[in-house]
Amino acid sequence: MKKLLIGAIAVLLIAMIVILAINIGQDENAAEDVNNGEQDELDQFTQEEKNAITLATDWEDVFNWSREEMLENLLVPRTGWEISEADANGVLDYLDFNYEENAFESAKTYLLGSDYSDEELHKLLTDTDGFTEDEADYAIENLEMNDQHLEAGYYDDLPITNEEKTAVRLAETWSRWFKLSEEELHEELLSREAITEESAELALQYARIDYNDNALERAEEYLDESDYSTEELHELLIETHGFTGDEADYAVENLEELRGMTSWEGFEPFEEIKYLDFEQNTRVGSDLLI
């Protein structure tokens, strides 16, 4: 009986080994088929076209170019090889980049530099960058602006000059995308030659900015980079970014809610708080755009 049992177990083990070997072989074959498929796809291209594919892919990772800009750069003669316009277009057809998203990112970059109207942005995207009308339309329609920044009437009703209204819009835009403190915004506004000290102060007076929220998001960014203690975070927000003590207090206190931390019972002033072990708490990604 024991011999029969041992024999059955041996047969079962052999069968399991055979099945495992077959599965491993199938996985390897599947991976090889994928690689072969990719290689077969690239084999249709000449060496010059493969060079162009590599270049265009690298550019797409760095620049938010239109197809027109991609094509112009591919057609620049290079040492040892060059590509015809027809072949370059074939490469771009193959790569099929998302030029709508590139137009969107370019529009955001333009708005960081100045307070362009929709019409001005559209013209920059089409005439300067070479995006199509549809791509420029997509960019304008999808700009990440919350409702308060679309209230043109708010700026029209402000008792200040047009130049000062522009400074207000710039301050709100920079705050929305960079989460700056009032001190940082003041410095950025004064870096513009057209904005005086008085204009900068008026802009910050009328700009609708939640500095508590900005401080909180900056604290989130720091915690995505490293496990700072509450004391370190508090000091970074004040000393490095110029947030007030109250704004820094708000940021650290509210990290509990955002990150699902354990409750801070008996919360004490910051000079008495000891280090927290952030590794033991749930961490989430930051939505901050820098």
On whether both 194 and 222 belong to a single domain, the answer is no
State the pLDDT at residue 36: 53
pTM, rounded to two decimals: 0.47
Residue 43, domain member (yes or no): no
pLDDT in tens, 134-172: 999 999 888 755 444 445 577 778 899 888 888 898 888
On whether both 218 and 269 belong to a single domain, the answer is yes
b/e burial code for range 131-140 (CB count within 10 A of at least 16 → b): bbeebbbbbb
Please state, for a pLDDT cut of 70, what percent of the chain lies above it: 69
Residue 248, domain member (yes or no): yes
On whether both 221 and 261 belong to a single domain, the answer is yes
State the pLDDT at residue 177: 78
On whether both 219 and 271 belong to a single domain, the answer is yes
Residue 47, domain member (yes or no): no
On whether both 168 and 136 belong to a single domain, the answer is no
The CATH number covering residue 109 comes to: 1.10.10.10
Residue 21, domain member (yes or no): no
Residue 19, domain member (yes or no): no
State the pLDDT at residue 194: 83
Examine the pLDDT at 131 and tell me if it is beyond 50: yes
Domain assignment of residue 122, given as a range: 99-141
Residue 22, domain member (yes or no): no
| CA distance linking residue 107 with residue 142, whole number of Å | 10
157 φ/ψ angles, rounded to the nearest 5 degrees: -85, -5
The CATH number covering residue 176 comes to: 1.10.10
In order of 109, 110, 217, 236, the CA distances from 243 in angstroms are 25, 27, 12, 9
Q: How many domains does the chain have?
A: 3
State the pLDDT at residue 237: 96
